[in-house]
Structure 1
Amino acid sequence: MTSTDAPARRNPFRRSADTGPRASFRELWPYLTEHRLVLVLAVALSLVGAALSLAQPALVSQVITLVQNGDTLGGLTWLLVALVIGNGVVSAIQHYLLQRAGTSVVFSSRRALIRRMLRLPISEFDTRRTGDLVSRVGSDTTLLYAVLTQGLVDALGGSVVFVGAIVGMAIIDPVLLGTTVLVIAVAIAVVGGLSGRIRVASREQQEKVGDVAAGVQRAIAAIRTVRAAGATERESAAIEREAKAAWGAGIKVAKVSALVVPVASIAMNVSFLVVLGLGGYRVASGAITIANLVAFILFLFLMIMPLGQAFGAVTSVNQALGALGRIQEIMRIPSEDEGDADIEAAPDVETDDAIRFEEVRFAYPEAAHKTESEKVVASELGEEALPEPPDREVLHGVSFAVPRGSRVALVGPSGAGKSTILSLIERFYDATGGVVRVDGSDVRALGREQLRARIGYVEQDAPVLAGSIRDNLTLGTPDADDARCIEVLHAVNLGEVLDRDPAGLDAAVGEEGVMLSGGERQRLAIARALLAAPPILLLDEATASLDGVNEQLLREAIDAVAEERTLLVIAHRLSTVVDSDVIVVLDHGRVAGVGTHSELVASVPLYRDLAKHQLLV
């Protein structure tokens, strides 16, 4: 790879405000065809149900004819009963299949979205809100469920038997209309009894969905730590397990709610029979004609139900396409490691430097931009589109070396570019100019997994993941035994944390580590890096949250492991780095000086001022 300056990065997937994040039905189609066998069966059952519904008026017509002629009914009565029950059974099976297919579509979309989201470039997390990303996994994917379960397939079957009509049942016979309402009221009471069970099952499903959202937010909040520890695959698998649990809860909802459909179907058919009986009496009494009775029945079954299904299908598909647009927006973004599979393992290079920066320049891409939904709102309000902010260069030709086995410190005022340097070493970003080398190789020629396996990274204010002490400690080393874990915890003076909870390593740390103090959270992050024992350690303000006693203990622990490793340390407190082999002074993205403490005090005014303010000279 070359060291030439890369062009300013633009997001190729940003849409204009007037289009919005709406997807097309063509983009929805792959989610449906993934379960095409179930859907084909559901459509076939829908057509069978339509045929059974259409057969009933014809059979009733024959019954009426036989009654009028005084003939015996024979087996027609039982055939009619069979049609009614058969129609209910077919509806129940079809409903369950659609519920199952809808739940499976949600699971498939969540699985794909989770895997892509946890592999997005770090710059995407810098410019997007965590809550918005979580809602795409929770709320947006759930709306895909409505496509199959709120009338799409039923509307297709209903269109086969739908005929237009504009004359209302009340005009034909108010008495028959009142009887029909009474039958439907009884069905509503039965459905109301079942709705309690559905609410319980639905509540469980929503709780599982909440677990998925919590897992995603947990991983995203600590995305740098997860990436640096090489734990992306395990975190993705853990959240997938939560998504599968939500899928299982959805299947329970499908089973319970499947009972409602036959009740509604039977209620409609019973109303048909009641109207038939009472209508026959009224025909005999001359209150209405047979033609009116047939018209009433046709309106009841062949107009209202298909029309309602069609409206439901249009609404659900529109909602799903809007949600799918947000999902597809994320799916179109290339993952951070998309090109890493094509990178061949870099050969070992004979070099004395573990890390080397050669005229490195870097600008954060598009430091801020509006989300798609914000752009749509701005367009609707008639706001003029604002230009994107220019790229902000923070490193200007930085060059320095970290000899293998040495301890090098980066110091300088806030905003000098110190943390950015560590991000470039980890390949959270790639330099826009110059070359960053690790063990002699350009980091862009190393796969991120290969690179990060060589490096331990403790970020400033390192987050603690919800879970136990063990979960956090072994994030990058899942096979570490208890003895080694306890040894490392004592090395960073966290033994008392183990002692105060009988659970020991399995003690819960709370959401974002609320059960630990700020210093304990930082020491736990350092212990995680020490446990992995990589050849290179990057420490970003590792002692910032520690008091004097714990800082000294931690320095001793770092000294113990530093004998066999390369350390690159960022520190504001110069007292923690005055004994470093090399100190690099940064100022506004440039190297102001390189040397030992005494050399810099004598030659670099900025460093001398920093040392004076901290009473070191």
Structure 2
Amino acid sequence: MSTSTAAAAPRRGFRRVKEEGPRARFRDLLPYLSEHRAAIVVVIVLSVLGAGLSLAQPLLVQQVVTRVQRSQPLGGVVGLIAALVAVGAVVSGVQHYLLQRTGTSVVLTARTRLIRHLLRLPVADFDRRRTGDLVARVGTDTTLLYAVLTQGLVDAVGGVFTFVGAIIGMAILDPVLLGLTVLIVLFAIVVVGGLARRIRVASRKQQDAVGALTADVERSISAVRTIRASGATDRETESVLQGARRAWGAGLEVAKASAPVVPVASLTLNLAFLVVIGVGGFRVASGAIGIGSLVAFLLFLFLMVMPLGNAFGAAASVASALGALGRISEVLALPSETAEDPADLAIESGRPDAPAVEFDAVSFGYRGQDGARVDVLHDVTFAVPRGTRTALVGPSGAGKSTMLSLLERFYDVDGGAVRLGGIDLRRLPREVLRAQFGYVEQDAPALAGTIRDNLVLAAPLATDEDCLRVLDAVNLRATVLKHADGLAAQVGEEGVLLSGGERQRLAIARALLADAPILLLDESTSNLDGRNEQLLRDSLAAAGEGRTTIVIAHRLSTVVDADQIVVVDGGRVVAAGRHETLLETSPLYRELAATQLLV
């Protein structure tokens, strides 16, 4: 039942509220706190010290009142009270700073764990999840952990000390008044305990809604040119605003769930105060207790109720944090890509006589969010001899790019095997495997940063001379050096400051700089003009000397001289051979060649 429905229904106790996603418990917070236990211990000690200073004050005030009644000299009691107040203020200030600092450090710990795990998730998880929602878990969700410390959790230890000390002092002064006060406080604790669960559930829904909104905004910004060119700005704006309104509605549910907490705390204090004044005044009049004892009891009452109010606030903060922690834990519970990698196995252990790459009866299908499999490859079998150039051609959607993804082990096969040097890829650690490939993706992405940042992504030790050499190989050196910043020139978000052809050539230069023995090129010349395409073909031919190259191409003119052309259709290999042979034996290849005027 939703929070709003529960609120509308007749209230016969607190109803069970359905939670979505993994449920986090308080003990799940402990790993984030343990790394900062030294600072937390210091804060707790200061909190307890501050509590002791506060508890001493009612007893000293009682002495002042009693001495005034008896016309006795005050001596140094007033000065001692002033000293306790001053020392307490200093202790509180130091504690506050350490608490804020520790809270910020806890957020850093959570973000560090989440980022390290997030960037090691299998590619399939990114296919099924929205990028903006994952970003929200790193930003918004982790920030809520800050409230766990700064809004009363650690300070609650000193609060407990103050609470217990106040109870003891009140019990000594007047057990009758204490009994009435405890009844009122117990009622408040029961009410807030029921509210805390509602707050946790509502907070989880709010964070989910904020995550969805972040994903919507990220999608719209990344495609802003397409949206404007399509005249869809108003429609897209309204779509994002609907997500904003859903987040607003979820925020209202949190507000509704947490709103009673402050009134309950205020009601508890006021009711306890009125009861103590009324009953306590009667007991003073009857001679059961003295006026000094009543004043001290009232001070102890405030000392008892203040940490109780902090505890109520902490309960609301912790409940919200647990909702966010559930979303964080959901990602951390996903197995990382390298979780099942085998022990390191040197690539040289492959057979020298084995093909560089071999697909053996490979079948594979992608899985959607519902877990359903969409078959893409069926019984794919072919081999790529060492030091040769193999082209994969065929209609769009035939499964060519998927084959390169399987080589990189972004996914594992569902059936059959892919081998590198005769070794099943699943026996190789991914880092060892990927070091053998220079991979240029179909979209030729560029990362926000400088030209040099993009080039050295796979070769961090490369020099500027190395970078200029590979830029020269892809006919990009002159373009880069025209810029005043040279290699330090910014490429913009997703390489927006570069043309499509420049992004493509930059990606190829990055692959060449990695100097891997196998090049994987997915539509590497699709955005190039004829002149640059020919220059790049010559450069790749020179770079391919001694290397194995696998090229996906729609322009057959770029691969007619390949050692082997593998024709793929509908996820199956339908033909393989050289250009001249395929023109005679493969109807599909002949059709593709005819449309490009190659026959």
- TM-score bracket for the superposition, by shorter chain length: 0.7 to 0.9
After TM superposition, list the pairs within 5 Å mapping 1:196-595 onto structure 2.
Answer: 293-294=295-296, 297-303=299-305, 305-346=306-347, 347-364=349-366, 366-367=367-368, 369=369, 388=370, 390-595=372-577
For 2:387 and 2:345, how far apart are their aligned partners in 1?
26
Deviation at 1:561, TM superposition (A): 0.9
Identity %: 59
Matched with 1:614 is 596
Q: Please list the CA deviations of residues 380-422 of structure 1 after superposition, one character each: whole Å capped at 9, or x if unmatched.
A: xxxxxxxx35211111110111111111100000111100100
Q: Please list the CA deviations of residues 145-181 of structure 1 after superposition, one character each: whole Å capped at 9, or x if unmatched.
A: 11111012333332344467999xxxxxxxxxxxxxx
Please tell me whether the aligned partners of residues 362 and 395 of structure 1 are also in contact (alpha carbons under 8 angstroms). yes
For 1:352 and 1:30, how far apart are their aligned partners in 2?
48
TM-score (norm 2): 0.74
Report the RMSD for the aligned CA atoms in angstroms. Answer: 2.4
- CA 1:61/1:290 → structure 2, altered by over 3 Å: closer, same or farther? closer
Please tell me whether the aligned partners of residues 67 and 74 of structure 2 are also in contact (alpha carbons under 8 angstroms). yes
For 1:429 and 1:582, how far apart are their aligned partners in 2?
25
Matched with 1:108 is 109
Deviation at 1:30, TM superposition (A): 2.1
Deviation at 1:97, TM superposition (A): 2.5
TM-score (norm 1): 0.72
Letter in 2 for 1:80: I
Deviation at 1:301, TM superposition (A): 4.2
Letter in 1 for 2:461: D
Letter in 1 for 2:141: D
Letter in 2 for 1:457: Y
After TM superposition, list the pairs within 5 Å mapping 1:588-603 onto structure 2.
Answer: 588-603=570-585
For 2:544 and 2:48, how far apart are their aligned partners in 1?
74
Please tell me whether the aligned partners of residues 396 and 589 of structure 1 are also in contact (alpha carbons under 8 angstroms). yes
For 1:118 and 1:38, how far apart are their aligned partners in 2?
30
Deviation at 1:46, TM superposition (A): 1.9
Letter in 2 for 1:565: R
- CA 1:433/1:343 → structure 2, altered by over 3 Å: closer, same or farther? farther
**How many residue pairs align between the two structures?**
465
Unaligned runs of 5+ in 1: 1-16, 168-212, 222-282, 370-387
Deviation at 1:94, TM superposition (A): 2.0
For 1:161 and 1:428, how far apart are their aligned partners in 2?
57
Deviation at 1:118, TM superposition (A): 0.9
Please tell me whether the aligned partners of residues 360 and 416 of structure 2 are also in contact (alpha carbons under 8 angstroms). yes
For 1:574 and 1:46, how far apart are their aligned partners in 2?
75
- CA 1:158/1:483 → structure 2, altered by over 3 Å: closer, same or farther? closer
For 1:138 and 1:165, how far apart are their aligned partners in 2?
47
2:403 match: secondary structure: helix
Deviation at 1:500, TM superposition (A): 2.7
The answer to whether residue 132 in structure 2 is matched with residue 131 in structure 1 is yes
For 2:179 and 2:523, how far apart are their aligned partners in 1?
76
Matched with 1:56 is 57
More off after superposition, 601-610 vs 289-298: 289-298
For 2:82 and 2:106, how far apart are their aligned partners in 1?
36
Q: Please list the CA deviations of residues 562-587 of structure 1 after superposition, one character each: whole Å capped at 9, or x if unmatched.
A: 12211100001111111111100000
Please tell me whether the aligned partners of residues 66 and 292 of structure 2 are also in contact (alpha carbons under 8 angstroms). no
Deviation at 1:289, TM superposition (A): 6.7
For 1:289 and 1:450, how far apart are their aligned partners in 2?
81
1:568 match: secondary structure: strand
Letter in 1 for 2:429: G
Q: Using CA pairs below 8 Å that are at least 6 residues apart, which structure has the higher relative contact order?
A: 1
For 1:344 and 1:481, how far apart are their aligned partners in 2?
29
1:157 match: secondary structure: helix
After TM superposition, list the pairs within 5 Å mapping 1:63-212 onto structure 2.
Answer: 63-162=64-163
1:351 match: secondary structure: coil
Deviation at 1:302, TM superposition (A): 3.6
Letter in 2 for 1:396: H
Q: Please list the CA deviations of residues 243-284 of structure 1 after superposition, one character each: whole Å capped at 9, or x if unmatched.
A: xxxxxxxxxxxxxxxxxxxxxxxxxxxxxxxxxxxxxxxx9x
Please tell me whether the aligned partners of residues 459 and 539 of structure 1 are also in contact (alpha carbons under 8 angstroms). yes
Deviation at 1:293, TM superposition (A): 5.0
For 1:612 and 1:165, how far apart are their aligned partners in 2?
96
For 1:319 and 1:152, how far apart are their aligned partners in 2?
13
After TM superposition, list the pairs within 5 Å mapping 1:27-38 onto structure 2.
Answer: 27-38=28-39
Q: Please list the CA deviations of residues 449-493 of structure 1 after superposition, one character each: whole Å capped at 9, or x if unmatched.
A: 111111100000121011100000111111112122112112211
Q: Please list the CA deviations of residues 477-521 of structure 1 after superposition, one character each: whole Å capped at 9, or x if unmatched.
A: 111121221121122111232233111111111111111011100
- CA 1:317/1:165 → structure 2, altered by over 3 Å: closer, same or farther? farther
1:152 match: secondary structure: coil
For 1:87 and 1:26, how far apart are their aligned partners in 2?
31
